Amino acid sequence: MERNEIMVIYGEDILAMTKKICEEAKLAERIPAGAKIGLKPNLVVAARPETGATTHAEILEGCIQYLQEHGQKDITIIEGSWVGDQTSRAFKVVGYDKLSRKYNVSLFDTKYDKYERRSYGGVTMEISKTALDLDFLISMPVLKGHCQTIVTGALKNMKGILSDREKRHFHSMGLHKPIAYLNKIYPAHFILGDGICGDLDFEEGGNPVQMNRIFCGLDPVLVDTYICQTMGYEPTDIPYIRIANEIGVGSIDLKPENIIELNKDTSKVKPTSSRKVARLAKNVREKDACSACYANLIQACARLDDRGLLGWLNKTPICIGQGYRGESGTNPGIGNCTRAFDTHCAGCPPKTPEILAYLEEYISRG
Ligand code: SF4
């Protein structure tokens, strides 16, 4: 995998998917022998991954197994939850304490560390000394929304290596510039993203969207661009991604041909526990849809909702799923399975921006 590429794998066997994508990305070849390796998940709060807030333990487990099978021994799970929650509680709730014992890896809470002050562009920040002492940092963000910064991903995940005092300071500076600058000072070496069921719009979870994917990349700006696209945003809509691009942390130039999909998603949509997702799906007529396809449609519906257009679909519900193969219809259809409809959005699965553009154009025709 090159720096201008993103790799994606779909499915439900999280541990096996993680090992496969690490293998395909040749992660082991990028890490010096005997390196001090840090795994930096997102444990913003002490909440189970099913809520859409935190990184699945199976992703860490798959990565640890992979690294140990490739001879790496010095592995630490490093994180500091947000101000107001205890990282130690989060380690237990998400099951990392069991991983630590099973695989003999350390758990490190950055809230109780020494910090070093580092600066970029006139902004000075306190960064965990343990994080700075690592040879190789693997960031494991969750693909999800955020009430202040719209999305959160690879760039924002690095906030967990700050002191609590610095986290507060970041908020007082408006978050965007310091997040971009932090990544200029200390970019992760590899990003392994959890896109299994991240939240629609809150970093603390509550409205998970089943997306059934894990993705990886070498450039945090490119990874966040992929996250934006998956959620139906432009990367330039998000100031910290725009700034990170401008100061050379990475690039927002993600070309469709540089998204390497290792497989097709064949998992089926499951009932949602989220009232918001259920509301967005009210006008979706799903018959045996693959979950990645359905998730892209839900993200597109969320963006239509932002623009006040969702209600328009009361008139003509959207059809999606393999159950529509060969059927004709006059409703808007999503995916190649609805290609016999009068109109449909092509793709298998079509991507969120494609679905959004199709539905907006469909709506504009009245
Ligand atoms: S177009 Fe049909 S087969 Fe392809 S991802 Fe969507 S539901 Fe699945």
Distance (angstroms) between ligand 1 centre and the Cα of 229 equals 19
Within a domain: 1:
no
Looking at the structure, tell me whether residues 321 and 227 fall in a common domain: no
pLDDT digits (tens, 9 = 90+) for 127-182: 999 999 999 999 999 998 877 778 889 999 999 999 989 988 988 888 899 999 99
* Number of domains making up the chain: 2
- Give how far Cα 168 sits from Cα of 54, 86, 162, 164, 178, Å: 21, 16, 10, 6, 11
Within a domain: 270:
no
**Residues contacting 342, CB < 8 A, separation 6+:** 328, 329, 330
**Residue 140 and residue 193 in contact, taking contact as beta carbons nearer than 8 Å:** yes
The atom number, within ligand 1, closest to the CA of 335 reads 1
Looking at the structure, tell me whether residues 135 and 85 fall in a common domain: yes
Ligand 1 pocket, residue 232 CB under 6 Å: no
Give the end of a domain, one of 230, 261, 292: 261
Looking at the structure, tell me whether residues 93 and 27 fall in a common domain: yes
CATH at 234: 3.40.50.11440
Ligand 1 pocket, residue 335 CB under 6 Å: yes
Within a domain: 193:
yes
Within a domain: 224:
yes
Six-digit token string for 246: 């401008």
Q: Which residue has the tokens 């909702």?
A: 305
Residue 176 to residue 249: CA distance in whole angstroms = 14
Ligand 1 pocket, residue 321 CB under 6 Å: yes
Looking at the structure, tell me whether residues 117 and 185 fall in a common domain: yes
Looking at the structure, tell me whether residues 65 and 134 fall in a common domain: yes
Give the end of a domain, one of 213, 229, 261: 261
Instruction: Give, rounded to a whole angstrom, the gap between the first and last alpha carbons of the chain.
Output: 44
What range defines the domain where residue 39 resides? 6-261
The atom number, within ligand 1, closest to the CA of 264 reads 5
Looking at the structure, tell me whether residues 68 and 170 fall in a common domain: yes
Query: What is the distance, to the nearest Å, from the Cα of residue 154 to the centroid of all Cα atoms in its chain?
Result: 8
Mutate to test the pocket of ligand 1, among 348, 352, 354 (most ligand atoms within 8 A of CB): 348
Residue 32 to residue 19: CA distance in whole angstroms = 19
Looking at the structure, tell me whether residues 70 and 204 fall in a common domain: yes
Residue 51 to residue 37: CA distance in whole angstroms = 28
Within a domain: 266:
no
Distance (angstroms) between ligand 1 centre and the Cα of 349 equals 5
Distance (angstroms) between ligand 1 centre and the Cα of 143 equals 22
Looking at the structure, tell me whether residues 198 and 245 fall in a common domain: yes
Within a domain: 104:
yes
Give the end of a domain, one of 261, 287, 319: 261
Q: What is the pTM of this model?
A: 0.90
Looking at the structure, tell me whether residues 159 and 231 fall in a common domain: yes
Ligand 1 pocket, residue 349 CB under 6 Å: yes
Ligand 1 pocket, residue 322 CB under 6 Å: yes
Within a domain: 267:
no
Mean pLDDT, 10 residues at a time, the chain of 366 residues: 97 97 98 96 89 94 98 96 83 96 97 96 97 98 84 93 91 91 98 93 81 97 96 93 98 97 88 81 90 90 92 89 94 96 95 94 87
**Residue 175 and residue 84 in contact, taking contact as beta carbons nearer than 8 Å:** no
Residue 188 to residue 132: CA distance in whole angstroms = 11
Looking at the structure, tell me whether residues 98 and 174 fall in a common domain: yes
Output the pLDDT for position 297.
94
Ligand 1 pocket, residue 345 CB under 6 Å: no
Looking at the structure, tell me whether residues 32 and 169 fall in a common domain: yes
Buried b (16+ CB within 10 A) or exposed e, 319-350: bbbbebeeeeeebbbbbbbbeebeebbeeebb
Output the pLDDT for position 365.
85
Percent of the chain that is helix, strand, coil (3-state, to 5): 40, 20, 40
